[in-house]
Amino acid sequence: MGSGKSTLGRLLSSRMEGSSFIDLDDHLEQMTGRKIPDIFREDGENVFRGLETEALIDAVSSYEGGTMFLSLGGGTLLRPGNREIIRAVSHCIYLRGTAGTLAKHLGDGSGRPVLQQGSSLEALLQSRIPIYESAARYIVDIDGKTPEMLAEEIETLLKDS
């Protein structure tokens, strides 16, 4: 959350011919016809996570070749089954940033249901780091880098893999 996944995914897909981009949160909202904060508020996080898994399976099954950049929600990898899907079909890249950098990107955190539930960004990050690292094929540090710098770094990683 706040690492720039969507911004970077859009940038990379525009720079790399034959590639596409899917933001999993947007995809979930399109599939359900509901906004994520509404799902959290009305149905709870557990229902949301189930819908998120359905959206992930749908997005991955829509892959038609070329390169697809898929921006996952910050909690998508919390479910072991989702990690298995991602490991099986992708080069998962963890965009690692400090809590300070992420907080700067998030602003007041409005529209981020997990933060609205009283979790601190630092505590959330610390609990998720081991999960993110275990799922990642690559770890890219984002602190102090522009989206363009990150896109170049990731393009190089993908070309060399």
Listed by start position, the domains of the chain span: 5-154
User: In tens digits, what is the pLDDT along the chain, a chain of 161 residues?
Assistant: 789 999 999 999 999 888 999 999 999 999 999 999 999 899 999 999 999 999 999 999 988 777 889 999 888 999 999 999 999 988 999 999 988 888 887 765 555 555 555 567 788 888 899 999 999 999 999 999 999 999 999 999 988 87
Instruction: Note the pLDDT of residue 113.
Output: 55
CA–CA dist 132, 83 (Å, integer) = 9
Per-state percent for the chain, helix, strand, coil, to nearest 5: 60, 10, 25
Q: Which fold has domain 5-154?
A: Rossmann fold (3.40.50)
Instruction: Note the pLDDT of residue 53.
Output: 97
CA–CA dist 37, 123 (Å, integer) = 21
The model's pTM is: 0.86
Decide if 4 contacts 147 (C-beta within 8 A). Answer: yes
